[in-house]
Each structure stands twice: as structure tokens, then as C-alpha cells.
Structure 1
Amino acid sequence: MREEASSKQWEKLYEVTCNLKALEPWKYFWDTQLIAIFLKDSEEPVFSSIMGCGGNCYGISVYEGLEGLRDFDMIASTEETGIPPDYAMLEQSSLACYFGDREEVPPDQKKIIKELGYKFRGRGEWPFYQSCMPRFVPCTPDAREVEVLTETFQNLFMAVRAVIEERIFVDWDKGEILWRAYNEKTGLWNMFAESIPMVEREYPLIVLQDEVLRRRLKKRPKVGTEISVDFAYVHASIELEEYERPISPLLFVTLDHASGMVLDMKMVNPEDSEIDVVLDFFVDYLQKNGRMLRLKARNPWVFAALQDICGECGIQLEKDELEEMDQIISEIREHMFENF
């Protein structure tokens, strides 16, 4: 059950946010230069990324724990992995504060600002906050998340000021990041430069355990089709009673290269497994049509689900930029916007 933050909690968050903004931290950090902070009663740190050094999108993202760091790595490495940036952005779990225009502030946060008596004027001066979760539309943080942001920003203020005043040196080029942790023995906060933990988002390779089904799929006749498959968010919002926040529709789309036609398009529910969705399509297609010649994809969940069984069935599983798929998805998004 969602618990809303109190006025007192929001007031504290706005206070520390304004203090941090006054330092203009984006003048001293690139968005890949992380600051790790161990919050009270936390076994794993939060990782903060300061945005805006390039002159666009001023703000701060907060990733909780090593799982959050994996999400940050997924976003930062889209050029290497081929995952579309817009997909990666909506697949993350994070908290964020942005400084934008009045029109960008959600209505509920405008109400909070008015009730607290804050006055922000001008473009790029209005703080607003987002809680991001895969399969859901970003929304206003709840009480716990407001507390996380407040404590993070309090410590981030001290860390940024130490860098500005040159009281600490971090060799970013050698993979170091800035750490801040409380020492219970001395009662002091320590700051030090240390390597970033090596993490990578895990996509476990799946082996189809049903031996009877494996043999049946291997015996299906070979057909000369080339199929593309992909997951894509459509940038819409759907409110359903069973979920506390609006869902962001995630589609599983399959495309036939010869005809350029969409074979199937399925909305993936928040509780659905990508692995199951991919395998269900693959098994159904082979049973109805036979073994395709080639299957193209770029999403790592597809490779996790199909690498073993494609090898078993003599099907070429290839990594591809899927330009035709991008065009189809763009058309789907335009159509959905017309109907929402």
C-alpha cells in the first residue's frame, strides 16, 4: 500500500534540494561520474548521477543498491549493447529530481509547492521529482522515497562541496568514484575515492527442460522465413484498478522480413516474464509454421530465452539493429497516441 509523504517530509526535501541546486553541481560532474553514499540503516549504497554538464536536462538521478547500479550501467552502455535508449530509460528503477519549467511539474507537486509557500520563477528553476519503475509510468515519490531523496541530497551536498573546494581528488579516468560513508566508531562521515563496483545486469541463459518438446521442435520442417522480435515501450499511460500507479505499456512485437508485416503484437503485463513471453512465441511459431531460417533481435532477454533452443534447432539467432522494427514501433506509438 502506497504511503504519501507528509508536508513536513516534502518541506525538508525542497529545502535540501534548493541548497544542493545552489552549488550548481553539474558544473563539476559529468553524469557518468557517480557519487556513492551509504545511507543510515542501509547495507548497500545509493549511487547518484548528476545531469546537466552538457547543458541539457539539469537534475540528479539516484539508484538504490547494486541492482540500481546495474540499471545505471544498462542506460550508460546502450551504444555498446544496442539496447534502444528509450527502452533502457523505462526499464530502470530509480529516483530523480529534475529542474525544469513550470509546465513540466506534475499537478500534485504544484499543489505541494503552493501549500509550502515556495516560489520558483523562470525556466529551468522548478524542481520536480520522479519515481521510476519498469513497466510503470514515472510518478511522484512516496513517503519512503522522499526520505531516501532527502538523506541522499543532504550527503550529496557535502560531497559536492568537498569536490568544489578541492578537499578530495577522484581519478574518474581510472574508474574511481566518490564514496561517502558514516564511521560509527568516530562519529564522522568519511569521504574517499575508490573503484566503482563491477556489476552487469544478468540475463540468465534458459535451457528448455521439456525433452519431448525439444525433440518435437527439432523435427519441425525448415522454412525460409526471417523473423524479427523485440520489446518496446509505446510511451503511453494506462490506469488499471489492480495497480497503484499507471502502467507504461510494454509490447512484444514480431515482424516477418519478407512481407514487412507484423505477425503478432502482445502487451506484456507488469507481472509477466520476458523469458516466458519470448518462449511462448517461439514454441507456438515453430509448431504452426516450422523452423524459421533466421531470427533477429537486439533485446538481451530474447537471447537469454532462445540462444540454447535456437542452436538445438539449427536456427540462426542474430543480433541486429532492427531498423524496420523501429519504423513499425514508431507507427504503433503514433496510432496509440491518437487513441489515448
Structure 2
Amino acid sequence: MNPTIEQWKSLYEEAISFKQSKCWEWMTNAHMFGVKNPESGEVGYCSILGNGGEVFGLSVYMGTKGLNSIMRMFSGESDEDPRFTQDALLLSFDNRDELYPRELKQIKELGLKFRGAHAWPTLRVYEPGFVPWPVLTQEQALFFTWAIQQAREIAMEHCHDPDALFHEDEETFLVRVPSRTEGGIVWSNQWLQPEPLEEMPTLQADPVDELRLTKAKKSAKGSAGIWEIDCFFAPIPVDEGERPFYPKMFLIVDGSSGQILKHGLSEKTQIANGLVDAFLALVEQLKLVPGEIWATNEEVYVYLRQVLRAFEPQAYLTDELPALEDAKASMLHYFGAGMR
């Protein structure tokens, strides 16, 4: 359900107060802390932006998964594009021409006026695989309002010593915890460790046609050597449905020649089916089965579980896929995305 006008008004009022505090003058994005959602109990981990003088605002990373994504980036453990990993709410103060038309319309309907550079509040949802979007649910808007409010409180409390937010145990964070009373919500500070990360079920391919699988096995006359396989988000947004998304791409590359054997794009929930179908189509076309499969991501083997059980190639997890990375760079360049 979409937020009401009053909920939007409260959210923008908190955003304006946050900007007026200029708390990024003493807080950096490394001064992380949490705000617990009074409704769901989930903790949003907050990072104040602006100390570097480029992006001004507040990121709220949702739950342990969201926290892990940003901490991996801070530590250098991950070089993945944040568009494909971040689960967060982002308040930023941008220029007018950076806002979606619906944001400008909303600001006008609320009777708000902003002028100048880095003056216009944007309130967006970041979810893995989707284009950052200005449409919030009621639940998101309500929590975002609390998070901005409590982030400002934490920043003001630590204006003279922001480093007090660093606990000696790097896995412990200061969290604003709500308590409901007759007079409303009362907030207090507690040092807490993140909840254990729940393992998300890995996407499975649909059952393979047994007749097709049997025919493919009988048609195979030898080994095709090494196939390097990877699945990844393509940085080319697709504007279909209610919200633009980034499709997933698979590549199957011959490890010896570097030739792209198969590739495909699909919505992320269909990538497993697309990869399995492409694998079988290659066996049927070449009448060969790979002797080895190399991948950097274990999910590739989960997607291919049924065909791996049938054809029994040697499967290896490796840190590098030299042939595939070259092919990937060329293909993304062809699509106009380039490589960073």
C-alpha cells in the first residue's frame, strides 16, 4: 500500500530537519549505527553521507544482509556493483534535474519548495537487481521516517566524539531500540550484535524433460574440453512492469579458444531455467559433453544440478575464469555498458 499524504509529509519533514543539522560535518560514512524497526523488529544500519563533500544524505541498510553488503565493500572484500547487492533505503540531497518526474510532482503536491544544488530530497529504495526507485510502501515510509529521525538524534549525541560509535568488538553496533509506552515510542541506546544471517533458498531450475535429457546423452560422442560458465547481472536496465530491473546474463565460454558458446538474458528468477536449456542445446548441437566445468560461483552448479548429475563432468570452483572474463568484457562493451 502506498504512503498517505500525511506519511509523505512527515518523511519529508524529517529529511529537511536532517539536512539542516549538517551532521555529515562531523560524522563519516564509517560511523555505523542501527535503528530498530518498532513494527518488524528488523534493524536498519545507518551510514551518514556527505563528509567527503560529494553525496549528502543517509543510507539505511536493511538487516544483517544489508549490513554485510556495505561492510564487505568497506573492507575491500567485494568489488561487486552496489546496484546488484545493496538492500537499503537512501535519502540524498540532489539537484533538481536528478529527480524523477513523480518526485517533483510529489514535492509540489506537498507544497514544498527547494532551490539550488544538493537541495532536493530524494527518497529511494535500493534492492538487488532493481533500478533505485522512488516508490515506497507505507511500511518503508514509516520506518524511513523513524530511521532519519533517530539517525539525527545519534549524530547530535555524538557531535563531540563520533568515534565513540566504534565498539572494541567490530561486530557490535550501537542501536536505537524502541519501547512502546502510553505516551508513544521511547527510544534508548543498546550495544547489539547483528542477528545471524538467514540463508536464502537458492533458485532452482524447473525439472528437466527426461526424454530430452536421455536423447542428449545418447547423442554425445565425445568431450568438448573445458566450459567456463558464469551468471551475473547485466548493467542494462529493462523497463518492463511496474519497476525497471537489471536482467541476469549467463555465459558459456570455451576455455581453450575463448569462443562464446552460448549466452542469454532473462529476468533473475528465470536465469536457472535459461542456463539449463542453453547447456542442453549446446550438447545437442555439438554432440559433445564438457569434460570439465569451471565456475567462480557455486550457484552455477546449483542451477545445473540436474544436467551435471546426468552428464557427470568434472566441476571446479575457481577464483578466475580467464577466457570468460575476456568474453564478458567484450560483450558488455558491445551492449554499451563497458567495464569499470
What TM bracket, shorter-length normalisation?
A: 0.7 to 0.9
Tell me the TM-score normalised to structure 2 length. 0.77
Q: 1:78 to 1:180 in 2, by over 3 A?
A: closer
Distance 2:337 2:47 in 1: 35
Map of 2:333 onto structure 1 = 331
1:161 aligns with 2:156: yes
1:70 aligns with 2:68: no
Of 177, 183, 204, which aligns to 2:173?
Answer: 177
Specify the SS of the correspondent of 1:254. strand
CA apart distance, 1:294: 4.4
Letter in 2 for 1:50: I
Q: 1:115 to 1:209 in 2, by over 3 A?
A: closer
Question: CA deviation digits over 1:138-178, x for unaligned, max 9?
Answer: 22123412222112212222222222255993334631312
The 5 A counterparts of 1:181-196 are: 181-184=177-180, 188-196=186-194
Letter in 2 for 1:141: V
- What stretches of structure 1 of length at least 5 have no aligned partner? none
Contact residue 94 and residue 133 of structure 1 kept, 8 A: yes
Aligned-residue identity in percent: 23
Distance 2:19 2:330 in 1: 41
Map of 2:233 onto structure 1 = 232
Of 90, 112, 119, which aligns to 2:113?
Answer: 119
Q: 1:6 to 1:281 in 2, by over 3 A?
A: same
Distance 1:34 1:100 in 2: 22
Specify the SS of the correspondent of 2:83. helix
CA apart distance, 1:259: 4.2
RMSD: 3.9
Of 103, 118, 128, which aligns to 1:134?
Answer: 128
Map of 1:100 onto structure 2 = 94
Map of 1:7 onto structure 2 = 5
CA apart distance, 1:332: 3.8
Q: 1:203 to 1:15 in 2, by over 3 A?
A: same
CA apart distance, 1:191: 0.5
Distance 1:207 1:128 in 2: 38
- What stretches of structure 2 of length at least 5 have no aligned partner? none
Specify the SS of the correspondent of 2:153. helix
Of 33, 45, 48, which aligns to 2:46?
Answer: 48
Contact residue 233 and residue 249 of structure 1 kept, 8 A: yes
Distance 1:220 1:98 in 2: 59
Q: 1:222 to 1:89 in 2, by over 3 A?
A: same
Specify the SS of the correspondent of 2:158. helix
Letter in 1 for 2:224: V
Map of 1:247 onto structure 2 = 245
Q: 1:295 to 1:74 in 2, by over 3 A?
A: farther
CA apart distance, 1:267: 2.0
Question: CA deviation digits over 1:192-242, x for unaligned, max 9?
Answer: 2333445376575989999x979x979973322442423122332322xxx
Specify the SS of the correspondent of 1:85. coil
Question: CA deviation digits over 1:3-52, x for unaligned, max 9?
Answer: 43333222211110111122333344443443222222223222223233
Distance 1:245 1:149 in 2: 20
Distance 1:82 1:292 in 2: 32
Contact residue 232 and residue 329 of structure 1 kept, 8 A: no
Q: 1:232 to 1:168 in 2, by over 3 A?
A: closer
Deviates more, 1:18-27 or 1:192-201: 192-201
Letter in 2 for 1:319: D
Contact residue 33 and residue 172 of structure 1 kept, 8 A: no
Distance 2:223 2:74 in 1: 34
Specify the SS of the correspondent of 2:40. coil
Distance 1:228 1:271 in 2: 18
Q: 1:177 to 1:83 in 2, by over 3 A?
A: closer
Specify the SS of the correspondent of 2:335. helix
Tell me the TM-score normalised to structure 1 length. 0.77
Q: 1:208 to 1:95 in 2, by over 3 A?
A: closer
Q: 1:78 to 1:328 in 2, by over 3 A?
A: farther
Deviates more, 1:311-320 or 1:126-135: 311-320
Letter in 2 for 1:235: I
The 5 A counterparts of 1:77-92 are: 77=72, 84-86=79-81, 88-92=82-86
Letter in 2 for 1:74: S
